[in-house]
Structure 1
Amino acid sequence: MRNFWCEQAWLPDGIAPRVLVRVDRGAIVHVSTVDTIPLGCERLYGIVLPGFANAHSHAFHRALRGRTHSDGGTFWTWRERMYALAGSLTPDSYLRLARAVYAEMAVAGVTAVGEFHYLHDGGNEMGEALRRAAADAGIRITLLDACYLAGGIGRPVTGVQERFSDGTAERWAARVAELPEDANSRVGAAIHSVRAVPRETLSLVAGAFPDRPLHVHLSEQPAENEACLEAYGLTPTGLLHEAGALTPRTTAVHATHLSTKDVTMLGGASVGACFCPTTEADLADGIGPARELKDAGSPLSLGSDQHAVIDPLLEARGLEHGERLRTGQRGRFTPAELVDALTNHAAIGWPEAGRIEVGAPADLVAIGMDSVRTTGSGVEQVVLTATASDVVAVVSGGRVVARNGVHETLGDVGELLKAAMA
């Protein structure tokens, strides 16, 4: 049994002061307000939120940060640099890099990550490296293993793309079925994109694991929509609908360039939408219709994708700021709605997480209210003022994994990243 005393806590029914959270075997067993702090409690100051869920990650992209800006370019030229990086990785080097990246997430308040995994070489060594890296960093992982069979609509895989492909959907499904799950890791599926999975194969991939999360890159670039319309006479959303891939267990990642009909189809099927605002800005993707999707019935989540920044609070703020820039209106999302997106673990297959309540994993993120950024902020608006630099303590599964930007077991994350990318 371990006890945490929270100066203030973001509970399901609102913010409460002086909250005692009792933990047993990594789960919350009691939540109450107290006048006297029990002896032996771990004290968490500031405002304590549930652990953050990073619903969309490509861990190896972190090595591109600060290396792709000098000559402008496009998403497609950036992709060539990503391919070069992908071609250089081994299971051992990927383990070191992913461990450092997940440690960077941990100190920023992430307690679970959805890893959109397509660098698998037709085997599971890379996936095992990612599972081990997450365990070492003290966060949970959902390995969203992506089916990747084509180098574009009507084109075979070439070059480094061959590392992404299993050759057939049947071989992909058989390999994914061999991935183990444990208390720290779960397995989901992914359709990389309608570019990478042929029309005749989409329904097989979508239905291969009906009880697990299914993620898909959707309409990130106008060129993807144009190619899909030319080849099939359908938008990517329409193509996925035809294949039976739009269900409540599906999450559409990016969902940037959507028609009104697309939004209605996604929301009507309760398909989730994962926005990655810092990546979508970095790659000049555009700003998707987040408010319209939410209103249509799509639960929202957030991801750091290529890790131009690993700061969940900036992703949440970017969601609201994107809406303001797109519409000219403020307050498109309430702070509570932004916290809901920040803590949406259901999108990556952990529906029991993301709340400070009995039965949930004991995932707690303490944000200091006395920094140069947060001093004077209303506590209920901290999601619009704080950054990852204000995360003063992170608890994952009842264990303190980070304090003041330093990982409890892995130490200085900057040094860890430096060594991994040396």
Structure 2
Amino acid sequence: MGIHFKTALLPDGWKNDVRLELDGGRISTLSEGAAPSPGDERFEVGLPGMPNLHSHSFQRAMAGLAEYPGKGPDSFWTWRDLMYRLANKVTPDELEAIAAQAFVEMLEAGFTHVGEFHYLHHDAGGRHFGDLAEMSNRIIAAAERTGIGLTLLPVLYMRSGFDALDVRDDQRRFFNDPDSYARLTEAARTHLSQVPGAVLGFAAHSLRAVPEDALRQARGAVDAEAPIHIHIAEQTAEVNDCIAATGQRPVERLLSEFEVDSRWCLVHATHVDRSEVDAIAASRACVGLCPITEANLGDGIFPARQFAEVGGRYGVGSDSNVRIDMSEELRLLEYGQRLQLQARNVLSSSDSGSTGRTLYSAAFQGGSAALGIEPEGIAVGGRADLVSLRLNHLDLDGRQGDALLDSFVFANKADMIDTVWRNGRKRVADGRHVSRAEVGSGYRGALASLLER
């Protein structure tokens, strides 16, 4: 039995009547201009699944619960205090239930692989669980249960700021020194090795939270070619504190002290100057952009057009998971640039002329590199991570080629995606994850328990 698409986006462009056969989670044969065979499943528009390069899955539980001002000026830092209250309540069982709900919604949105930037390691007082990787194991279990691809990024977190020697009390469960971090990652590696296609990467929370010597030491806890992620230059206060502590801006400091290359993902990098933009692009690092979260937190807008003009690589992530919507991440990325520059179709590539195609292709390539997976797309030998759109959807009616992606990104409704496969298995059918009801029930129970405490 095969899969037949009326039209599909292959690495060399749109092709009609594409027939696939799958074997072992990969595409074993691909025919263009082919009629469907008896017994084939028939679909309309085929796309490669999108990587989600940055997620804190536990924050899904506070979506919509921080939309009121405090007594003083409201900012990222006041939001963070609210987030810490939640973070210090979450049990292992609740983490697994919340992560599973987030992963279900990611798959339904067309994300087929997630980079989980995971720093909720210990209990609320900072005491280690019997298995140091207990909380990591719950993320892994949620990924296995829902079927999403996983790049696990255990986070090193050691201090509350550039001038601090320790973490705050409400950050105790994040803390590891390089030695305990190495033990944690080794324990996580054992569990992750049982998950097909899973990747173990390295993450430092930020330059403010990790001393540079410790970052160098802890980096050795994972494979030399593993992806490396770090939050950087998300807030102006962080930039100012870094200048005060080191005499350099955060990205400037990182690039001067570390060999940043294509393995690195610089998450947010919102507040960068022109020389930093050029230097990131030259390093071949990926910038991880999370437009929905960055807008929700009032972070600012990354200079994406400047970055794209010098060949910079980027991908998108759902970060705080306040809303999980792949097409909206791409749409808001473009719209932020339009508002800032007072222009239209700012990120459109001269090669395609289609803004939707440019955004989708760039985020697919950059996100794949950032998560340590090959950007194979719909090709023989590639992972069967596929997304199907409804060609009979009102907002796709009469479209073909790149116009399909333009409409998907800029006119998308929640029901435009009908089917999603991950590693050859159908995980979303008729727009709903196959385990949505069961996972949703567990999430409701976890949320009710959290809100009661």
Same fold (TM over 0.5): yes
Q: Which residue of 1 aligns with 2:4?
A: 5
* Displacement of 1:93: 1.2
1:302–1:341 Cα contact (<8 Å) kept: no
CA distance in 2, matches of 1:310, 1:41: 31
Q: Deviation of residue 199 (structure 1)? A: 3.2
- The offset of 1:292, in angstroms, is 1.9
- Please report how far the alpha carbon of residue 384 of structure 1 lies from its aligned counterpart in structure 2 after TM superposition: 2.6
Kept after mapping to 1: 8 A contact 2:114/2:148: yes
Q: Which among 184, 196, 202 is matched to residue 183 of structure 1?
A: 196
Quote how far apart the aligned CAs of 1:185 are.
1.9
CA displacement at 1:207 relative to structure 2: 5.2
Work out whether 1:159 is the aligned partner of 2:159: no
Q: Which residue does the alignment assign to 2:94?
A: 93
358-367 or 286-295: bigger deviation: 286-295
Matched ranges for 1:237-276 at <5 A = 237-276=251-290
CA contact (8 A) 2:6 2:18 kept: yes
Candidates 359, 362, 381, aligned match of 1:341: 362
Instruction: Tell me how large the CA RMSD over aligned residues is.
Output: 1.8
Q: Deviations over 1:251-293 (max 9, x none)?
A: 0111110011211221111110111010011001111011222
Distance 2:343 2:219 in 1: 37
The one-letter code sitting in structure 2 at the alignment partner of 1:164 is F
- SS of residue in 1 equivalent to 2:99: helix
How far apart are 1:35 and its partner, in Å?
Answer: 4.1
- How far is the alpha carbon of 1:206 from its aligned partner? 4.4
Q: Which runs of 5+ in 1 are unaligned?
A: none
Supply the distance in 2 between the matched residues of 1:186 and 1:163 (Cα, whole angstroms): 24
Describe the SS at the equivalent of 1:179. helix
Which residue, 350, 364, 379 being the options, matches 2:404? 379
Q: Which residue of 1 aligns with 2:346?
A: 332
AA at the equivalent of 1:204: Q
Deviation, structure 1 residue 342:
3.7
2:377 corresponding residue in structure 1: 355
Give the superposition deviation at 1:323.
1.4
2:53 aligned counterpart, secondary structure:
strand
Equivalent of residue 208 in structure 2, options 184, 192, 195 = 195
Match of 1:323 among 334, 337, 350: 337
1:284-337 C-alpha deviation (Å, 9 max, x unpaired)? 111101122233343111001001110111111111111111212222223222
Distance 2:428 2:312 in 1: 33
Deviates further, 15-24 or 370-379: 370-379
1:56 aligns with 2:78: no
Retained in 1: the 8 A contact 2:18–2:34? no
Q: Does 318-327 or 229-238 show the bigger shift?
A: 318-327
User: Is the Cα contact below 8 Å between 2:186 and 2:221 reproduced in 1?
Assistant: no
Cα gap change, 1:406 to 1:415, in 2 (>3 Å): farther
Which of residues 204, 207, 210 is equivalent to 2:217?
Answer: 204
Q: Which string of whole-angstrom CA distances, capped at 9 and with x for unpartnered residues, describes residues 193-213 of structure 1?
A: 111012332333445532100
- Distance in 1 (CA, whole Å) between partners of 2:445 and 2:393 is 30
Distance in 1 (CA, whole Å) between partners of 2:305 and 2:438 is: 38
Q: In the alignment, is the contact (CA less than 8 A) between 2:100 and 2:143 conserved in 1?
A: yes
Q: Which runs of 5+ in 2 are unaligned?
A: 123-127, 348-354, 449-453
CA distance in 2, matches of 1:418, 1:411: 10
Instruction: Using the TM superposition, name which of 378-387 and 293-302 deviates more.
Output: 378-387
User: Does the 8 A contact of 1:312 with 1:388 survive in 2?
Assistant: no
| 1:140 paired to 2:141 | no
SS at match of 2:437: coil
Range with bigger deviation, 280-289 or 235-244: 235-244
TM-score (norm 1): 0.94
Give the match's secondary structure for 2:396.
coil
Amino acid corresponding to residue 250 of structure 2 in structure 1: P
Q: Matched residues in 2 for 1:342 and 1:7: separation?
A: 24
- The alpha-carbon deviation at position 414 of structure 1 amounts to 5.0
The 8 Å contact of residues 234 and 299 in structure 2, kept in 1 or not, is answered as: yes
* Greater mean alpha carbon deviation, residues 197-206 or residues 271-280: 197-206
Letter in 2 for 1:176: T
Q: Post-superposition shift, 1:229?
A: 0.2
Q: Deviations over 1:2-25 (max 9, x none)?
A: 411112101111111211011101
Question: What percentage of aligned pairs have identical amino acids?
Answer: 35
Q: How far apart, in 1, do the equivalents of 2:439 and 2:372 lie?
A: 27
Cross-structure match for 1:286: 300
Letter in 2 for 1:106: L
TM-score, normalising length: structure 2: 0.88
Cα offsets for 1:370-398 (capped at 9, x unmatched)? 33443355324233322443111101111
Residues 27 and 360, structure 1, Cα contact 8 Å, conserved in 2: yes
Q: Which amino acid aligns with 1:81?
A: L
Matched position secondary structure for 1:421: helix
Distance 1:277 1:376 in 2: 30
Cα 1:140–1:246 change in 2 (3 A) is same
